[in-house]
Amino acid sequence: MVARLEITLKPELFDAEGEAVRRKARDYFNIHLDQVRTIHVLTIDAKLSKDQLESARHRIFTNPVTHISSFAPLATDFDWAIWVGFRPGVRDNQGSTAVEAMEDLFKIRFQPGEAAYTSRLYLLRGQRLAGDKRGYRLVERIARELLANDLIQQWRIYSREEWHAKEGIGIIVPKVRLAHEPSVATLSIASDEELQNLSQERNLALHPNDIPVIRSYFLRPEVRAARSKVGLADPTDVELEYISQARSDHCNHNTFRGKFFYRDLVTGETEVVDNLFKTCIESPTLELKQRKGWVVSVLWDNAGVARFDQDTYYVITGETHNSPSNMEAYGGALTGIVGVYRDPMGTGKGSKLIAGTYGYCVGYRDYGGPLKPHLHPRRLLDGVIEGVRDGGNKSGIPTPYGQVFFDQGYMGKCLVFVTALGLMPATVAGTPCEEKTTTAGDLIVMCGGRVGKDGIHGVTASSEIYSEHTPAGHVQIGDPYTQKKMHDFLLEARDEGLIAFITDNGGGGLSSSIGESARFSQGALVELDKVPLKYEGLDLWEIWVSESQERMTVAIRPENLKRFMQLSRKHEVESTVLGKYTDDGKLHITYQGNTCAYVDLDLLESGFPQWEFEAEWVPPEYRGLREPVLGPPEDHRRILLTMLSRPNICSKEWIVRQYDHEVQGTSAIKHLVGLERVVPNDAVVLRPRLDSLRGLATAQALNPTYSRIDAYHMAACTIDETVRRLLAVGGSLEHLGGVDNFCWPNIQYHPESNPDGKLKAAQLVRANWALRDYCLGFGIPLLSGKDSMYVDGNLEGYFGERHKVSGLETLQFTGTSVIKDVQRCVTMDAKMEGDLLYALGFTRNELAGSEYYDLFGYTGLKVPQVRLEEVLPLYRALEEAIGAELFASVHGIYRGGLGVHLALVAMAGGLGLDVELARVPAEGVKRDDVLLYSESAGRFIVTVAPEDRARFEEKFKGLPYACCGRVTKIKKLKIRGLSGKVILNVGLQQLKTAWKKTFANL
Amino acid sequence: MAKKKNIAAPIPRIRSSPKALVLTGFGLNCDWETAYALELAGAEARRVHINQLLMGEEIGEVARLDDYQIFAFIGGFSWGDDHGAGVIFASKLLYNMGEEILSFIEKGNLVIGICNGFQAMVNLGLLPGLDGDYRSRKVALIGNDCGSFRDQWVHLKVETSSPCVFTQGLENLELPVRHGEGKFYAEERVIKNLEKNNQVVVRYADSEGRAANGSFPENPNGSLKDIAGICDSTGRVFGIMPHTEAFIHWTNHPDWTRQKEHYRRRREPYPQEGYGIKIFRNAVEYFK
């Protein structure tokens, strides 16, 4: 029988969840409600007796102190009620744990098809909520735009009049029913056109150039002969799906491995750039690996590995999860962070997760224009923040650092960067932990979650521009609970030496994880019918490519299987043997004894044509960019306050505080520092081994607005910013690890749909050149990196017309550095009254793409540039001085410029600053506003105790530095302009109010 | 099970360091640092998966609660915090080894619950343990008033009249809270009883050590009477929302770089240990 249990807080208790809905309805839609109360609904579809149901109700699901509950409807006294539940097949984590709890309580197993489903009933009360059509429209808006996302959820609305007191919402069981016999289809390859049509029909997203190669393989006589022995002729859908996944841009990085015909339209110079990955990422990193003994394992595994200390390595990678987050922000971001955590878990023989970081690029939260994205940026950002929050917090992994950037361009598609850091011992069971391989005879074991229809074609969908027709099936909800159990389990298995090979099931599912791991042994035999399913009715190809989450594929030697399964039981993680690795060169898949795929593993390695792009560069001055004619401002006080309150500068404490940033006990430098712990520090530092003083610093940067001028300098400045952030906290130039995450709009030229594709392609080439130049210049091996193309969307406008909205060309750069003793670390807050204030590095007139120009709606031409020969000696001196503990505070000057960052140093310290602009090292700057808001690279603000002055100045002899003020007890930021006159004298409280007010009520 | 009378068992004397069991598994996650903190404090700590206690034979790793003197319910997201933080965790323990836990307490041993562990203990009924009744749910930790998870360091005022073994000799503490459901709630008469019995151990306070009086963010979750931690009437069973194991090194503190400038300029050595260790050391000292 099906029972519906309703649970709610006792009426006298404050309902924080309902209150949040009430507040958002007011803030977002100006709908004033008097009260919102929530009822949690648990629908149990299982053969349980009345006594058992009653026992579950009061023993598990009802807290006698705070709850009332009933199998009859609890709702009374409301104007409108909204019920929200999942659509069939959407991951319901709470439903699963409810089943687990009941199974444990009654010592039973739920049978296939039995389940528990959670949903919510919101009871709305409001004087202005009439029971008429207008009231309905307001309530429907709350349901559609606040409470539910129709891609994953369904909702029902009840007016007080319609409500049936006895039946309530009735019984709603979102059970998946697939009246479908699993089958395998054969696809005709009679002609290129036919295969092309099939590709389109089945959403295979095969590249037109790949089609002849695929056909010719399946037409080869020796291939046909071998296939006929296993009962196959033309390719099956399982095989073509496998090829499609492996060849997708997401998995194969066809763009970065493509051939670019680069032409400078002004000079007429041309250059063929063959493979950006090889020339700008792989080759510099390999060169640096030769010089830097701490680089352990790069460029082949799920994440990069570098030395932390004598017997420990750290592991890092970064990902994006843009397309899914754009459609279902919470589920997409949650799946993103939980997914990237599986990369370090699947690196070498596995590593323990020690941190995650985030980067969000979204449209403006208060956007009120005519464009209609699937989710309003405000709602999207809320969802993304919460998704990463639950993913990190529930995994027991600190989220110590992150950044947010707002720009209109991200309305088309948002960016959600997630980065994961892990730690592994140098050796496990006597073998190097970073190495792994599969050998013929090893068993293929899948661990973790089960397989359903979710996530099918995620990989190919993220390789496409978002449209209203994008299949919603690839929207998923991550399950950190299941993954945390699996993480703990696999680490124990690793330490007992049971794991020969491990990799995650991410994009492409089993197709990728088995396909890739089989290349080591040179073959695999997979029995698809062994794969545990969430529900029956999946076609074979769906099982093979499903991206259902929280799964790892592991190679286990047969003699280790017993112990491995014992540990699996201990942690209550499902593990299943799916087949074995072989060495016959074939990927051989069977279902109930019949072959459904039989292809050569090396099929993917040869013969596929490189993607080709035309790249045309027009330098910014020839694109019409100019410096604006902008006179100096008179009211410096108001300009600074305005700058501080801008979304890309202001406080985002509300986000940082939602993340557990110190679980594991490793936090040494937190993101928010200073007297009131509200100002973000340049970087964070972990002390990942509790028994050691060694630290791991990490920081990230992105500066996408500079791409408006030249993506070369965008990339250069972003790398420089990351380096400075790491150095500011105490990082070392000797050990700088990098992770590049490119997010780019479509670069394939099309006269109608992508007319500026050639310029975007040239920008990508230029950004990669900068990556190469500055990684070599600073000595940063790229430990890992990823690219995500197609940051575009077609949004409906006011009149029903559609606009293509492309994101800015964006590189997020993540850096790491190992610190010998965390007690040497410095934070950015001014510490002591009377300390001297120094500016390091030249300020130049480089305002293009800056926050200051953006305030007035200008782009400009003079974009910040990074002069390696100038900044490197300065950075070396800084590193030495921090090592000698000569600084009380160190802070880089980033977006917003000197003015903004002086204010941050003062606010953080709770101390005043008395500054003379005339003494700031500068080149060619004649105006106060330029000095205050130029975003020149390579600069720092430091404070120094007077007694350390001589030692400090000795170290910086001959370098661009100057004492330009001091730290004062008077809580004011006082700045004298170039003329010597005081141009600004503002109290800290005022600065702080301006800086905090933008998102104050969040 | 019959209600137990107030248990005033003698302190079990042990020759070597006391053994501490740090319970892990099913989404709990502060196991490593809690074990490390207990070791620093002088205990012999072991991380034990719940299933080692419940099905040790089958998985080839048997553990017995009887072999330990300190039982740590740690922080984390057991069962994803679904259906109420610590609810399924409590149900799992209660219906599989409830008697063993009661007998562990009866023998005069110590139990500490931190964050999710505290939430589990109140759902088990181990706390507040009014009148020696360790099976009744009388208090609850519910959703923060601020509406979301929050990570923030708080000032805590220790009630020195409390019999709590873990806080002896302490007056003030600074620790981080990291929870979404930490609002201490109970009916008024229960709270009165707790106060009367000196079972309130720590309260949220301002930087001067004065009670927060419900003001945010000093009281980060809206806890009634600023209550951050309570103990049973014997003081041997203790639950606290802030993370004592998160302050095990002085660099865990958010202000340490500021403090460092003072030490450095006065040419004083840097402290090494974090203040949170004192809680665990008190537990170890109890057995000496």
> pLDDT tens, A607-620?
789 999 999 999 99
Q: Are A2-159 and A826-1002 equal in CATH topology?
A: no
**Is the pLDDT score of A22 beyond 80?**
yes
Per-residue 3-state assignment (H helix, E strand, C coil) for A450-465: CECCCCCCHHHHHCCC
Which 198-237 residues of chain B touch chain A by CB within 8 A? 222
Least CB-CB distance to A665: which of B33, B139, B255? Answer: B33
Which 798-857 residues of chain A touch chain B by CB within 8 A? 822-823, 825-827, 829, 831-832
Least CB-CB distance to B84: which of A63, A100, A822? Answer: A63
Whether the CB-CB separation of A375 and A416 falls below 8 Å is answered with: no
The pLDDT value recorded for residue A203 is 80
The answer to whether residue B83 neighbours chain A at the CB level (below 8 Å) is yes
**Distant-in-sequence contacts of A706-709, Cβ < 8 A, 24+ apart:** A706/A848, A706/A849, A706/A863, A706/A864, A707/A763, A707/A767, A707/A808, A707/A809, A707/A810, A707/A849, A708/A625, A708/A808, A708/A848, A708/A849, A708/A859, A709/A620, A709/A625, A709/A848, A709/A849, A709/A859, A709/A860, A709/A861, A709/A863
Within 8 A by CB and 6+ apart from B42, the residues are B17, B281, B284
First-to-last alpha carbon distance for chain A, in angstroms, is 43
Give the mean model confidence (pLDDT) for residues A87-92.
88
- Phi, psi values for residue A968, rounded to 5°: -120, 160
Q: What type of residue sits at position B80? A: G
CA distances (Å), A964 to each of A759, A842, A967, A974, B269, in order?
A: 43, 13, 11, 12, 32
The pLDDT value recorded for residue A253 is 85
**Is the pLDDT score of B10 beyond 90?**
no
The answer to whether residue B96 neighbours chain A at the CB level (below 8 Å) is yes
The answer to whether residue A17 neighbours chain B at the CB level (below 8 Å) is yes
First-to-last alpha carbon distance for chain B, in angstroms, is 33
Residue A564 to residue A974: CA distance in whole angstroms: 66
Which residues in chain B are closer than 8 Å to A20, comparing Cβ atoms?
147-148
Give the mean model confidence (pLDDT) for residues A736-744.
98
CA distances (Å), A266 to each of A274, A616, A751, in order?
A: 22, 10, 21
Whether the CB-CB separation of A420 and A350 falls below 8 Å is answered with: no
Active site residues of B: 115, 243, 245
Beta pairing, strands A672-673 & A304-309? unpaired
B139 strand-pairing partners: B186
Q: Per-domain residue ranges for chain A?
A: 2-159, 437-607, 826-1002
A437-607, superfamily in CATH?
PurM-like C-terminal domain (3.90.650.10)
The answer to whether residue A678 neighbours chain B at the CB level (below 8 Å) is no
Taking CB atoms and an 8 Å limit, are B29 and A396 in contact across chains? yes
Q: Rounded to 5 degrees, what angle do the CA atoms A460, A463, A467 make? A: 95
Taking CB atoms and an 8 Å limit, are A488 and B24 in contact across chains? yes
B12: distance to nearest CA of chain A, Å?
A: 30
Which 4-23 residues of chain B touch chain A by CB within 8 A? none
Q: What is the pTM of this model?
A: 0.96
Which residues in chain B are closer than 8 Å to A61, comparing Cβ atoms?
83, 87
pLDDT digits (tens, 9 = 90+) for A634-650: 999 999 999 999 999 99
B206: distance to nearest CA of chain A, Å?
A: 13
The pLDDT value recorded for residue A470 is 42
Please report the number of interchain residue pairs, chain A to chain B, with beta-carbon separation below 8 angstroms.
204
Q: What type of residue sits at position A326? A: N
The pLDDT value recorded for residue A589 is 98
Chain A interface, best mutation among B22, B34, B48, B82, by max A CB count within 10 A: B82
pLDDT digits (tens, 9 = 90+) for B71-107: 999 999 999 999 999 999 999 999 999 999 999 999 9
pLDDT digits (tens, 9 = 90+) for A557-608: 999 999 999 999 999 999 999 999 999 999 999 999 999 999 999 988 777 8
Which 145-164 residues of chain B touch chain A by CB within 8 A? 145-153
The pLDDT value recorded for residue A179 is 76
Nearest chain A residue to B258 by CA distance is: A831
Whether the CB-CB separation of A340 and A507 falls below 8 Å is answered with: no
**Is the pLDDT score of A980 beyond 60?**
yes
- The interface predicted TM-score of the complex, written ipTM, equals 0.95
The pLDDT value recorded for residue A176 is 83
pLDDT digits (tens, 9 = 90+) for A435-463: 999 999 999 999 999 998 877 765 555 55
Taking CB atoms and an 8 Å limit, are A570 and B49 in contact across chains? yes
* Reported confidence tier of residue B5, pLDDT bands at 50, 70, 90: very low
* Reported confidence tier of residue B13, pLDDT bands at 50, 70, 90: confident
For residue A995, give the nearest of A493, A552, A653 by alpha carbon: A653
The pLDDT value recorded for residue A460 is 53
Which 322-361 residues of chain A touch chain B by CB within 8 A? none
Nearest chain B residue to A103 by CA distance is: B92
* Reported confidence tier of residue A720, pLDDT bands at 50, 70, 90: very high
Which 683-702 residues of chain A touch chain B by CB within 8 A? 687, 690-691
Taking CB atoms and an 8 Å limit, are A101 and B51 in contact across chains? no
Q: Which domains does chain B have, with CATH numbers?
A: 19-286 (3.40.50.880)
The answer to whether residue A623 neighbours chain B at the CB level (below 8 Å) is no
Give the mean model confidence (pLDDT) for residues B184-196.
97
pLDDT digits (tens, 9 = 90+) for B227-268: 999 999 999 999 999 999 999 999 999 999 999 999 999 999
A319: distance to nearest CA of chain B, Å?
A: 24
Give the mean model confidence (pLDDT) for residues A462-473.
49
A2-159, superfamily in CATH?
Phosphoribosylformylglycinamidine synthase subunit PurS (3.30.1280.10)
Residue A456 to residue A472: CA distance in whole angstroms: 9
Nearest chain A residue to B244 by CA distance is: A665
Residue A86 to residue A362: CA distance in whole angstroms: 26
* Reported confidence tier of residue A824, pLDDT bands at 50, 70, 90: very high
The pLDDT value recorded for residue A471 is 42
B108: distance to nearest CA of chain A, Å?
A: 28
CA distances (Å), B246 to each of A216, A664, A826, B122, B151, in order?
A: 62, 8, 21, 22, 12
- CATH number corresponding to A826-1002: 3.90.650.10
A568: distance to nearest CA of chain B, Å?
A: 9
Least CB-CB distance to A93: which of B80, B95, B265? Answer: B80
Q: What type of residue sits at position A559? A: E
